[in-house]
Amino acid sequence: MKAFLGSMTGRVFLTLFFGTVVSAILAEVLVEEQQYRWFQDYRDNAALERSEQLIYSAEIVPSSARAAYLLSANRPGIRLEEPDAPARLARAPSKFTAALAARIGAHYQLQTLAERPAACNVPRLQYSLFWPTERIWPGVCESINVRMRDGEMLRLLILPPASSLEGEQSDYRIVFAVFLVSVTALAYLVARMTTRPLKQLAQAAKDLGNDINHPPLALAGASEIRQASAAFNAMQARIRQHIFQRTQMLAAITHDLQTPLTRMRLRLEKVGDNELQQRLVDDLSAMQAMVREGLDLARSMDTTETMQPLDLDSLLGSVCCDATDAGQQVEVIGSANRALMGRPMALRRCLVNLIDNAVKYGKKAVVTVDSAGGAARIRIRDNGPGIAPIEQARVFEPFYRVELSRSRESGGTGLGLTIARNIAEQHGGSISLCNHPDGGLEVTLVLPEYYTRK
């Protein structure tokens, strides 16, 4: 869940979900408030008409029978009755009193009382879509003295309505639950549709790092996505062209150096001073070794070799057998039991370089193979002096050699680990170094697993 909320899909989903829910709540609150105001205006107008009718009807009934008539004519919310005690008048007539006086004419005297009926101040439970609330009726609620034509004084009570706009039976929980489910599904669908092109671009960038010759992205989707895909394909083509030109240039330079070096070696045979001749031959051999490793470096950046399924144990066994036949001390422990997608010649060159380095500087190579975290792991340990931690990152730089290896006896040009790292990264893998607690340097090669051999 934490990974989902931290992803672009999760953030878009939460933004859409909470944005839609909050907007719906605000809209519902505004609609309910508007409905409540509409009901209040309707109730006030109805009270005005009902009060006019009640006063006119009471005028027709004789004074002796008015009390009995009003007892049966009164309804909840509007009552016309005989006053039980004198009451204090308000300083000015209310808006409702003025409107009622205008309707019934000057033959009736209306006076607004200062004290409102007790029912006007009682909170009423109002039901809504989300939660019930208590509020005092905001509409007309007052007491009015009405002097009839015959001089009798009656009191008109305008009380709150008997029930609120929404009754207690209203239950919107199922409606709200359906709304939440539909919003959740819609928000997730929109989030997936929005972030899918980004995931495709991210996967294409990852595939580009593993294989520069990976097929270009299909130009599909919205115009912005097609434009981004076209720019990505153009970038891939330019990078591929730059790598090809650099590889070709390096290969051409190192290849062209082979001929003059060969001629120089033949001419050195005519040197009379044996000691000078041997020194010159050694220097020339070092130059030829650098040229060969330069060619290997150029080949390590070449990704034209076809990817194919490989049995890692068989490939590693073949490399170790060749090393043993060449007189090197190599020991293999364990097995990966994994089949990988890779370039056979490139991976062989990578393993050969790592094992040669271990034998060259540690006299012996112990190769341990296993699986870890869904990937094949190959650890190659030697018995040498190791490498200082501060130097371990720099040894991957081209032509860089640590101080202990700078001798004619050890040889090397400082390209072996650079070549091995290039090949590993082209396969989506990695190479790391560490000094073993029991002595020696341990090189760890990790290659991603594509499928497991049955």
Contacts of 49 (CB under 8 A, 6+ apart): none
> CA 213, CA 306: separation in Å to the nearest integer?
10
Structure tokens at 436: 């073993």
> What pLDDT shows up at residue 172?
64
Q: Which helix (H) or strand (E) element contains residue 330? A: strand 330-333
> What pLDDT shows up at residue 296?
67
Q: DSSP labels for 192-238?
A: HHHHHHHHHHHHHHHHHHH-TTPPPPP--SSHHHHHHHHHHHHHHHH
Tens of pLDDT, residue by residue over 31-83, are 878 887 888 888 889 999 999 999 998 888 888 888 888 888 888 889 998 88
> What pLDDT shows up at residue 406?
38
If you search the block for the tokens 């090397």, which residue do you land on? 412
DSSP label of 307: P
Name the 3-class secondary structure at 124.
Answer: strand
> CA 270, CA 268: separation in Å to the nearest integer?
5
> What pLDDT shows up at residue 96?
92
pLDDT tens by residue, the chain, 454 residues: 666 666 777 778 888 888 888 888 788 778 878 887 888 888 889 999 999 999 998 888 888 888 888 888 888 889 998 888 888 888 899 999 999 999 988 888 999 999 888 888 888 776 665 566 778 888 899 999 999 888 889 999 999 887 644 444 455 667 777 888 888 888 888 888 877 877 878 778 777 766 667 778 888 777 777 888 888 888 888 887 777 777 777 777 766 777 777 777 777 777 777 787 788 877 777 777 777 776 666 666 666 667 788 888 888 889 899 888 888 888 888 888 878 888 888 888 889 989 988 888 888 889 999 887 778 889 999 888 888 888 888 888 777 766 544 344 455 566 788 888 888 888 888 899 988 888 888 999 998 865 433 3
Contacts of 161 (CB under 8 A, 6+ apart): 43, 77, 137
> What pLDDT shows up at residue 144?
92
> What pLDDT shows up at residue 143?
93
> What pLDDT shows up at residue 145?
92
Q: Please, what is the Cα angle at 411 between 405 and 414, to 5 degrees? A: 65
Structure tokens at 441: 């340097």
Residue 81 phi, psi (nearest 5): -150, 170
Q: Count of residues for the chain?
A: 454
CB 371 within 8 A of CB 339: no
Structure tokens at 141: 């609620």
- The two beta strands, 365-372 and 330-333, are parallel
Distances (CA, A) of 447 to 337, 341, 347, 393, 427: 13, 10, 10, 20, 7
> What pLDDT shows up at residue 171?
56
> CA 341, CA 306: separation in Å to the nearest integer?
10
Contacts of 138 (CB under 8 A, 6+ apart): 40
Provide the total of helices (H) and of strands (E) in the chain, helices listed first: 10, 14
List domains and CATH numbers for the chain: 2-158 (no CATH), 211-304 (1.10.287.130), 306-452 (3.30.565.10)
> CA 318, CA 321: separation in Å to the nearest integer?
5
What is the number of other CB atoms lying within 10 angstroms of the CB of residue 26? 10
